[in-house]
Structure 1
């Protein structure tokens, strides 16, 4: 723990421009594709039913948001018409 703190302090004191990252190891293409395939096996895909339900819920929320903003826009428009009619009446 102290070594890590000392390295961090030394790196910060030296400035970030002079600190270089260690060179990355080259991975052979065959090993890379094996690792990609292994990671791909860990993926859990949603079922068709879950995807359908989620899509319907998103559609409902979009419709509700559209109605909400329609009502708010209508209300603000009416309020602005009222305020502008007061200034033109006098």
Structure 2
């Protein structure tokens, strides 16, 4: 049986399927504390400071790679579309 992971990343006991007549007891969830608005904003700012932004060079390289992949995909789909168009015209011409 697969072991379920808890939110903290640690493995828990295997999950047992419910059998007829036996009820599976669900763990009671602890009531969540409400966060005040100033505390929430403070937490958001703390998380914002953890962001690692890409450099200008990394952004440029990634943009060029995306452009290259788009051009390759466009050429591929153009060739496939043209090939299917020729094939369908050939098949339809047989019936005339």
TM-score between both structures, scaled by the size of structure 2: 0.69
RMSD: 2.5
Return the index of the structure with the highest Cα Rg.
Answer: 1
More helix by share: 1
CA deviation profile, 1:42-66 (whole Å, cap 9, x unmatched): 1000011111110111011001100
Moved over 6 A (4+): none
Aligned match for 1:29, one of 23, 37, 52: 37
Which blocks of at least 5 consecutive residues in structure 2 are unaligned? 1-11, 17-23
CA deviation profile, 1:7-53 (whole Å, cap 9, x unmatched): xx2139xxxxxx8x654312122211111111111100001111111
1:16 corresponds in structure 2 to none
2:8 corresponds in structure 1 to none
1:72 corresponds in structure 2 to 80
How far apart are the structure 2 equivalents of 1:23 and 1:31? 18
Which blocks of at least 5 consecutive residues in structure 1 are unaligned? 13-18
